[in-house]
Copies of this chain bind each other. A is one copy, B any other.
Amino acid sequence: MVADDDGAFAPTTEDAPSSSGFLDDGKNTIGSQLASRLREAIISGELQAGSKINLDKARKTFNVSLSPLREGLARLISDGLVEFEDNRGYRVSPISLANLEEITTLREEFEIFALRESMRVGDVEWEGNVMRALHRLNRTERDAARPETLERWEELHREFHLTLISGCGKPILLHFCRLLLNLNDRYRRVFLTRTSGDRNVNQEHSEIAQGAVARDLDYACDMLRQHIHRTGTNLRNHLATKGIL
């Protein structure tokens, strides 16, 4: 009746803070931890898109009180992953073809803008960060058979794209881009368990990164745009094929 009889959430052994007590990622409060767990649950598809979130059930599932639960959900609204209506509660943001297409379009628009700015004003440290993020991503295997590698890859992939544009010196823009990546990742996690065969994604990332640190504005932007566009097309096909919606 308490925590884990509802298989949907399956917490991964992290109830006790464990011995390596120091260096907590800033996830101090229950509300913060919940936000993280819920975010992962939504992006990974564990929580179905469009479904209603029953506060009482969630409260029992996570074994917490209402206050931190609402707190956590409220943060996911900022991320665009959860919607809310007065007296009607929370629900997981629905997915749709139109939504995916908007995300792709906006990513093309904003990320390219941010990349261009990064190349214009980014410093050497930014360049270093990009190369490091690229290396770590490319050296990480993505094995559909082992979910933990998928998660790890997703994390690094996300990190790469964010690092790429992190030199732009525009926090609000970065916030928007992070948000769009969140939304986009959900589609990928749900529909793509592996990279589609006809793409060498590693190479695409390398081309973008190398163009970026070489400050070859047009080349890098073009590569990034194509990269985002291809991803969008792939996801659209999967969405259509699997007949969701």
Contacts and interface: CB of A to CB of B under 8 A. Distances in A.
A193 to B, nearest CB: 26
Contacts of A165: none
A157 to B, nearest CB: 21
Contacts of A32: 86
Given A28-B87, A87-B28, A103-B172, A77 B78 contact: yes
A59 B155 CA distance: 39
Q: How many copies does the complex hold?
A: 2
16 contacts: A26-B86, A27-B86, A29-B87, A32-B86, A67-B70, A74-B74, A77-B78, A99-B172, A102-B171, A102-B172, A106-B170, A106-B172, A109-B113, A172-B180, A172-B183, A176-B176
A56 to B, nearest CB: 16
Interface in A129-179: 170-173, 175-176
